[in-house]
Amino acid sequence: MHRARDLGSLLGTHVTAWRHLWERFSFGAGDNADETERLRIVRLHLLHLIQTVSLNSVDLDVGVPARGLHGEAYRGHVLWDELFVLPILNLRTPAVSRGLLLYRYRRLPEAREAALAAGYAGAMYPWQSGSDGREESQRLHLNPASGRWIPDPTHLQRHAGIAIGYNVWQYYQTTDDREFLTHYGAEMLLEIARFWGSIASYDPSRDRYVIKGVMGPDEFHSGYPGANDGGIDNNAYTNVMAVWILLRAKDALDALSSQTRAELLGTLQISADELGRWDDITRKMFIPFHDDGVISQFEGYHELTELDWNAYRERHGNIRRLDRILEAEGDNVNRYKASKQADVLMLFYLLSADELRDLLERLRYRLEPKMIPRTVDYYLARTSHGSTLSAVVHSWVLTRAHREQGVELFFRALRADVVNIEAGTTPEGIHLAAMAGSVDLLQRCFAGIETRGGQLLLNPYWPESLQALNFTIRYREHVLTVHLTGRTVQIASDAGKQQPIQVSCRDKTAGLSPGSRLTFAF
């Protein structure tokens, strides 16, 4: 205690630290009352985020708890929430992102053991985990609507590894941190890819690879009606993103020096035959479609029963947890074309239309321009929004086709914890992923920021109702200020000695040097 400084000095360093943080996480909007209130909520969400995953925790072995540090829900477990959190951190505090990814790297041995125990190769990251990285998902779930304990097969959500691999690659694209990729990131991507390469099985009748017995992000569909075994087959999100992971593993290998690549392949004992199988999977993975071209959520989805949504809304009002309502009535949500949250639509959330089109064409499927809005409308009409993340993802995908509807859902995502939209779960802890995701809508959805192919891409879908927006990001050591208003986006780089970067907006590309600025009309 004798080393403690006086209160005035402590307060001064505290204020300085927060001033620096708010400079990094700066968001400015229009000056009318509505915009001021929304900006206040944005800053509240950022406050929760940077308290939970702080610069002070960079060297600590900590992950991203689903409810932050603010409640007992999920018992402090780590799920897939960093998928929605790291896009904010990558562009502002990349050291924090790196630390969170290293948390996952340290648990790679446990993920390998889990894959081995399940009969697979590589790394199978758990759906819920605690400090040691083991699977901690509950196997029974209490339905408060019926008072019954029912089986909980959510451990079959193998896509947690997809989220981790996605974050590894996005972090590398944003930072060009080759040291991280060389020593940690490439190994993680290869082991996650190895898992998907082993869980995929070849179906000779289709001349395609299939993935059976999993759950997608939806969570309502844990199996087929009347089936004893859990899981569904060929979840479109899982299958497509498994291919994406396999392709990024190859890209990671290509980014390494020949010596490092050879050493890593030798250490992991990945043979040329195994790499060849991965390449074959990226050309022959099965993706289910409806007859009208809509991507099917999983194989057999089109055979399920349509739900009378209006009747259930009239009887129950809030039907976000439709699964609990149906179980209390002696029914099962597995029978119906009904989702808790976005599943197929997660593809449009994580991948640009160009990326998804290229990937499907590699698989010999066509992504017709009308297929995306048709798929969005199809699942929007069949989703209960039982998760706070649902409004985030649906706002994102609606912005492309129905901009003002997307804005309405953005406002809903902003208010989710402020007004306890989930009718009782916010007191158990804030929804950190939804908070971060709502802010991310501003930068990556409405401003259209992407970090892909060694470039900073801008593809704005800026709603007129949002007026102007200013925010600051960091990309490959450049401190950039982005200003959006009307049909114009301006991006300026602070002075420094960084290497110039390439910036693209729609069909225009230009170099940006330190101390200069670019203006694009869109």
Catalytically active residues, by annotation? 219
- Over its C-alpha atoms, the chain yields an Rg (Å, rounded) of 23
* CA 162 – CA 108 distance, rounded (Å): 14
Residue the block writes with tokens 């020593």: 183
CA dihedral 440, 445, 447, 449 (to 10 degrees): 80
* CA 276 – CA 285 distance, rounded (Å): 14
Hey, is 362 helix, strand or coil? helix
- Distances in whole angstroms, Cα of residue 36 to Cα of each of 33, 43, 412, 420: 5, 11, 16, 21
Burial of 3 (0-12, 13-18, 19+ CB in 10 A): exposed
DSSP 126-148: -SSB-TT--B---SEEEETTTTE
- Report which secondary-structure segment, H or E, holds 24: helix 7-24
Longest dimension (CA), the chain: 77
Asked if 27 contacts 439 with a C-beta cutoff of 8 angstroms, the reply is yes
SS3 percent helix, strand, coil of the chain, rounded to 5, is 50, 15, 35
Structure tokens at 138: 């509950």
Nearest to 310 by CA among 380, 402, 395, 381: 381
CA neighbours closer than 13 Å in the CB half-sphere of residue 53: 33
Residue 119: Cβ within 10 Å count: 8
Asked if 305 contacts 229 with a C-beta cutoff of 8 angstroms, the reply is no
CA dihedral 30, 31, 33, 35 (to 10 degrees): 20
Structure tokens at 232: 């569904």
Asked whether the CA dihedral 154, 159, 165, 167 is positive or negative, the reply is negative
Asked if 470 contacts 26 with a C-beta cutoff of 8 angstroms, the reply is yes
- Report which secondary-structure segment, H or E, holds 473: strand 469-475
Asked if 337 contacts 307 with a C-beta cutoff of 8 angstroms, the reply is yes
* CA 297 – CA 295 distance, rounded (Å): 6
- Distances in whole angstroms, Cα of residue 4 to Cα of each of 7, 10, 17, 106: 9, 9, 18, 35
